[in-house]
Each structure stands twice: as structure tokens, then as C-alpha cells.
């Protein structure tokens, strides 16, 4: 059974002016997402700037998210690291905190071999009794989890059940689904490929777009699942210009800017991420206005 079907938001982490974490604003964000039909919360992932959190902040953020959500929808905790021991530690802490699943990115910088990836993910999965979503994003990690590797993992390790596919390679997605014989749930890691991946048998998306358009992102998947393919495709195409603006600079720079434009107070970013360029902000604001997204709260 899938951890979730539909649109899970890869939640940003709100920050105060001094760079500390703002859990009061995170609660506002979570309540907004739940009220607008988001199907799952993915906390402490790439969009959540987990790579610049201390371990203590990382664990506390998962705890606060689980507490606020209070089992209304699944919470999937990002616990990946390029150090296997660290990933095991964070995963165990997420389990203790009450997370419903784990999102584990492939090791970055040290770029493991496919055999190394198998051992890395297997070691983490065997230490924690939670369903695990592999996160394949070669553009950030420098290594692609090959379809054969994914197939081997989902067949050999019971709690490796899904993959967030952000390679952008639709042919690879098709091969993963083919090799896994229905044993893997695939989520799009790219908002511009929600319907293409769902059409191959995917379960939905782990989304940035959901921050500003949660109901429509949910509806996009729901409509497809109900057989209303044309309506789903129209929603996908409608949002392409905004999606492009939300990725005009490295994520999560634009989506934090968008939320601040629309009434949230999510603050800035931790270095090395910096404030969005003015020209890109102008384009983002225009696309939000075009979609009628000017005030979310």
C-alpha cells in the first residue's frame, strides 16, 4: 500500500530574521496545506534546507511537524546523508518522532557506485521499521540510481517501497516501473512531469508547486486517477509557466520568495543560498498574479 497517493508538499523551513527556525510559521504553513487537500508532508528535504541544519535542528523540525500534523496526513521525513552512519541516526530519530516514512537521497559528493548505493540504502532500511522512499536526483548528487539498482532494492528489502524520481528522464521512469513489476511506487520529483509520470503508473508528486497551489496540484493527480485525463492534462499545462518561474533559480530560493509575496512570513535562506535576483522576482510575481495567486493567508 502506497504511503500516499496524490500531491505531497516538499515543505520549506521558515526562518526568523536571525536565521533561527520559525516553528510558529511552519504551523501556519502546515495548516494551510492540510486545509487545501495536500496528501502528505515531506519535511527536511532539499526544499527544507536540511543540508544547512544542525542534527539537533533537523530532528526538532521533524518532531514539530509530526506534532502539528497529528496523523491527519502522512509525514515523510528526509533523513538522507552522504554518510551512511548519519543517515541511520537521523532515520532512527525520525522513527522515534513518529514519522510515517523516510525520504532518503542518494549520497552526494562522494558519489557511490551502484553496489555502494545498494549497501547504503539497505543498511539504513534494515535499521528502521519505516517505509522508505529513495530519492534519485543526479543533478544535485552527481550519481544516478540506475533502474536495475532500484529494482534490486525493492525486491530484496521489504521496506524500500518507493522512489522520488527527479532525473527528468521519462524513459528511465518507464524502465523503473517495468523492472519492478508493480513492487515500487513512483512519485514525480519534478512539477512539470506530474501527469507524464502518473500516466506510466506513478502515484503522484513530491511537489514544490504545492506550496502556492496545493489544491490544484492535488486535483491534478486526483483527476487523472478518476480517468479525467484531459482535465488533469489541462491543469498540468496551465501551471507550466509558474513552475518554470519557481525553478528560475535553485530551489528553494524562488518558492520562499513566492510564499513571502503571498502573505506568509517564511524569512530568508541560509548561505550559500541567497536572495532571489530582482529580475527573476518580477517574473515570479507576474506568473503568480496571472494564476490569481496573490494572497494565500
Q: 23, 63, 118, 164: which one is catalytic?
A: 164
Active site residue 164: yes
**Which cell is 123 given?**
543498511
User: Does the pTM exceed 0.85?
Assistant: yes
What is the phi/psi pair of residue 168, to 5°? 80, 0
**Which cell is 96 given?**
522515534
Instruction: Give the DSSP letter string of 55-113.
Output: HHHHHHHHHHHHHHHTTSS-EEEE---SSHHHHHHHHHHHHHHT-SEEEEEPPPSS---
Q: With bands split at pLDDT 50, 70 and 90, how would you rate the model's confidence at 59? A: very high
Q: 23, 135, 224, 239: which one is catalytic?
A: 135
For 101-133, how does the pLDDT look when each residue is reduced to its tens digit (9 = 90+)? Answer: 999 999 999 999 999 999 999 999 999 999 999
Active site residue 286: no
**Element holding 162 (H helix, E strand):** strand 160-165
Cα 158 to Cα 81, 178, 184, 294: the distances in Å are: 21, 19, 11, 44
The structural domains of the chain, ordered by start, are 6-229 (3.20.20.70)
CA–centroid distance for 21 within its chain: 19
For 201-241, how does the pLDDT look when each residue is reduced to its tens digit (9 = 90+)? Answer: 999 999 999 999 999 999 999 999 999 999 999 999 999 99
pLDDT number for residue 297: 84
Cα 178 to Cα 151, 172, 183: the distances in Å are: 9, 10, 10
Amino acid at each position: 500500500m502506497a504511503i500516499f497517493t496524490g500531491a505531497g508538499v516538499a515543505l520549506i523551513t521558515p526562518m526568523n530574521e536571525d536565521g533561527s527556525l520559525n516553528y510558529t510559521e511552519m504551523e501556519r504553513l502546515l495548516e494551510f496545506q492540510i486545509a487545501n487537500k495536500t496528501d502528505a508532508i515531506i519535511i527536511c528535504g532539499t526544499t527544507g534546507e536540511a543540508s544547512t541544519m544542525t542534527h539537533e535542528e533537523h530532528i526538532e523540525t521533524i518532531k514539530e511537524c509530526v506534532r502539528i500534523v497529528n496523523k491527519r496526513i502522512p509525514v515523510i521525513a528526509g533523513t538522507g546523508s552522504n554518510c551512511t552512519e548519519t543517515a541511520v541516526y537521523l532515520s532512527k530519530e525520525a522513527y522515534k518522532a513518529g514519522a510515517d516514512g523516510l525520504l532518503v537521497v542518494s549520497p552526494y559528493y562522494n558519489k557511490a557506485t551502484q553496489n555502494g548505493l545498494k549497501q547504503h540504502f539497505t543498511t539504513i532500511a534494515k535499521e528502521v521499521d519505516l517505509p522508505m522512499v529513495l530519492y534519485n536526483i543526479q543533478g544535485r548528487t552527481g550519481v544516478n540510481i540506475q533502474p536495475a539498482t532500484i529494482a534490486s532494492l525493492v525486491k530484496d528489502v521489504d521496506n524500500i517501497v518507493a522512489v522520488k524520481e527527479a532525473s527528468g528522464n521519462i524513459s528511465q521512469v518507464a524502465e523503473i516501473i517495468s523492472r519492478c513489476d508493480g513492487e515500487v511506487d513512483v512519485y514525480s520529483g519534478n512539477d512539470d512531469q506530474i501527469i507524464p509520470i502518473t500516466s506510466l503508473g506513478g502515484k503522484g508528486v513530491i511537489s514544490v508547486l504545492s506550496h502556492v497551489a496545493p489544491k490544484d496540484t492535488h486535483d491534478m493527480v486526483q483527476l487523472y486517477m478518476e480517468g479525467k485525463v484531459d482535465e488533469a492534462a489541462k491543469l498540468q499545462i496551465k501551471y507550466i509557466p509558474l513552475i518554470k518561474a519557481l525553478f528560475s533559480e535553485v530551489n528553494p530560493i524562488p518558492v520562499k520568495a513566492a510564499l513571502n509575496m503571498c502573505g506568509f512570513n517564511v524569512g530568508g535562506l541560509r548561505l550559500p543560498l541567497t536572495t532571489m535576483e530582482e529580475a527573476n522576482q518580477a517574473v515570479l510575481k507576474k506568473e503568480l498574479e496571472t494564476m490569481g495567486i496573490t494572497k494565500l493567508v
